[in-house]
Structure formats: C-alpha cells, structure tokens
Amino acid sequence: MISKSTLLKFLAEGILIAISILGAFLIDDYKDERNERVMELTYLADIREDLVDDTVTYLWRLGDLDTTERYSDTLLTIQMRGQKVPDRLVGQFGHLYSVLIGINFQNDPAYESMKSGGYLRLLREKELERSLNQYYSHGRFADRVVNQELMRITQVRRDFRNKSGLYVGYDIDAETAERLLKNPELYNITHDSRQSIHFVTQVLQGKLTWAKELIGDIDQYVSSHH
C-alpha cells in the first residue's frame, strides 16, 4: 500500500508538471500574440507609407489636370467669342493633342501582401479592415473607369490631330491656330476634353480625401492599440 507521503509527493510532482506545461503554453501564446502585434503594426506602417505616397501622386496629377482644365476653359472662351488666339497660347496649342496620362492604382504592395498572407485577421478592429478593403477595391474599379474615359478622349484628340494634318511636336503658328479655331469640331472636342478632365479630377479628389482619412484612421488605431 502506497503511503500518504508518497501519494502527496506524486500529487505535488503531477501539479508541478501540469503547471510547467500550462506555463509553457501560456508563454507560447504570449510570444505568438506579441509576434502578431508586431506584424500588425509593421503592416499598418507600410500601408500608411503607401497611402502617403498615394496622396503625393494624387496632388501631382491634380495639379497637372488643373492646368489642362484651365487651358481648355480659355480655349473654349476664345472659340465662343471668336477672339484672336493670344500669343502666349499659340505656343501651347499643341497641348490639345497631347496624350492624357492614365491613372494607375498600383501603390498597394503592403495591403496586397497582408491580404494574400491572410494577415488582415490581425486587425483587432474590423471596421479598419473593411475600410482598407473598400479603399483598394474601389480604387481599382475607379481606375478602370477613369482610364477608359482617358483612352477615349485621347483617341478623339488624336483623330482630330491626324485629320488636321498635324503631328506630335508640331510647331503651331498663329495662322494655323486661327484656322483650327474656326473648325466647329475642335470646339466639341475641347468641350468633351474639359468634361473628361473634370470627371477624372473629381475621382482623384475623392481618392485623395479617402487616403487622408485612412491615414488618420491608422494613426488613431495604432495609438490606441500600441
């Protein structure tokens, strides 16, 4: 018969073993949790950097589009009033025939890496996850729509340029500019171009605002979960 002291010894050893195993599990869980938190914050820092780059790109493109839109407005006014083309615009007349650069929403490597690796689950607030998903999915959709419109109006401008007997880099003089301005088709193309540029501008302004809001959301999230 096993003595009481022996039973107590076995019981104590069993408890120690159980505590050791439980402690090991707890330590592993703590390490896993800590590693996941580090990964979460690292991904968010990278996504935030991508968003900042987005805002810089949007601002640059908006400035470029604003110049083009203002030029179109001036040209439309001249056409409507039958005015003489100012010398300062004659040299820029070829701008009408330039290719409108497409919009490419490609600056999402951190988000794509986090998503493809299944690490969006690390976000402790699902609202932030939904916001990121919506921003990037909407961005791709918006880019497709915008680029289709830019391709369309660019082709219209090219066709007019070719029918006018001009070519890229053509040095348009005042006489040629006056002749072109009398062409009703040019007015329609200029107006169409302006509408397209205005549409693209609105889309980019929306994306710029959204990117800034997400940067603020990430900053708030990190400060409250650090």
Tally of structural domains, the chain: 1
User: Is 169 a residue whose pLDDT tops 60?
Assistant: no
145 vs 96: which has the higher pLDDT = 145
**What is the CB neighbour count within 10 angstroms for residue 132?**
22
Quick: pLDDT tens for 68-89: 788 778 878 877 777 777 776 6
Cα dist. 137→6, 156, 179 in Å?
67, 29, 46
Do 216 and 222 touch, CB atoms closer than 8 A?
A: no
User: Is 91 a residue whose pLDDT tops 80?
Assistant: no
Q: What is the mean pLDDT of residues 104-118?
A: 81
Backbone conformation region of residue 118, classed left if phi is above 0, alpha if psi is from -120 to 50, else beta: left
pTM (2 d.p.): 0.76
Domain hosting residue 84, numbered range = 4-225
